[in-house]
């Protein structure tokens, strides 16, 4: 049976707002969102919310997941405590399971070498360049980017910190949550406040 579980990584200083559009609408469209932490001990987000992870990182298997979402956090840029999440992203991609990373999580993937040969984006190019990664030629100045991967590796979504709606759009397109016309309408409604798009979504 195909998994419908999407796994959201949670850790201290998580940027609460970045995965919210994606997780809310995935849940409304038949996916189960499960949180995964370094352990199952509670974490505290940047907004001060306490989250108790559903499972620990060591218990997460790519074959049980549809997607791994990695959000930004201050900890991505202040040490190696989140490096295990980047290594898990490598395991997912190697297993052909998609990963979506936004904000500081893109730097974590860069340090892990996962952006060296893939189309990607982030906050700005020099933010990733500071990691010393080799992927500069593949950087795209866009709100969000999906690298389709291929037969032997999973797709990868990346986005900058100001683009949670575009990040969600790419995730929905990747997982087939909305057909193209409705996906465009969803983006126009939530990104541009285009009220006319609501009728398309309801159609």
Run of H or E residues at 33: strand 32-37
| Torsion angle, alpha carbons of 109, 111, 112, 116, to 10 | 80
- Is 103 labeled as catalytic in the residue annotation? yes
Let me know the angle formed at the C-alpha of 158 by 167 and 73, rounded to the nearest 5 degrees.
85
- The answer to whether 157 touches 144, Cβ cutoff 8 Å, is yes
- Residue 44: its H or E element: strand 43-44
* Nearest alpha carbon to residue 172 among 14, 45, 19: 19
SS (H, E, C) 116-182: CCCCECCCCHHHHHCCCCCCHHHECCCCEEEECCECCECCEEEECCCCHHHHHHHHHHHHCCCCHHH
Among residues 70, 103, 107, 183, which one is catalytic?
A: 103
- Integer angstrom CA distances of residue 157 from 39, 56, 75, 106, 201: 25, 23, 20, 10, 24
Please give the positions annotated as active site: 103
């Amino acid at each position: 049976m195909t998994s419908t579980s999407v796994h959201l990584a949670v850790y201290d200083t998580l940027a609460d707002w970045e995965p919210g559009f994606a997780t809310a609408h995935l849940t409304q469209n038949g996916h189960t969102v499960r949180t995964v932490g370094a352990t199952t001990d509670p974490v505290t987000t940047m907004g001060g919310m306490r989250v108790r992870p559903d499972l620990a990182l060591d218990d997460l298997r790519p074959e049980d997941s549809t997607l791994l979402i990695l959000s930004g956090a201050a900890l991505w840029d202040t040490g190696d405590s989140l490096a295990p999440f980047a290594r898990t992203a490598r395991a997912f991609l190697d297993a052909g399971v998609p990963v979506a990373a936004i904000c500081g999580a893109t730097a974590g993937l860069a340090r892990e070498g996962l952006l060296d040969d893939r189309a990607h984006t982030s906050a700005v190019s020099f933010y990733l360049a500071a990691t010393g990664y080799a992927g500069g030629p593949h950087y795209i100045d866009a709100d969000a980017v999906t690298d389709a991967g291929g037969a032997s590796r999973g797709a990868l979504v990346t986005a900058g910190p100001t683009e949670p709606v575009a990040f969600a759009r790419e995730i929905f397109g990747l997982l087939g949550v909305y057909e193209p016309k409705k996906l465009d309408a969803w983006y126009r409604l939530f990104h541009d406040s285009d009220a006319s798009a609501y009728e398309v979504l309801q159609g």
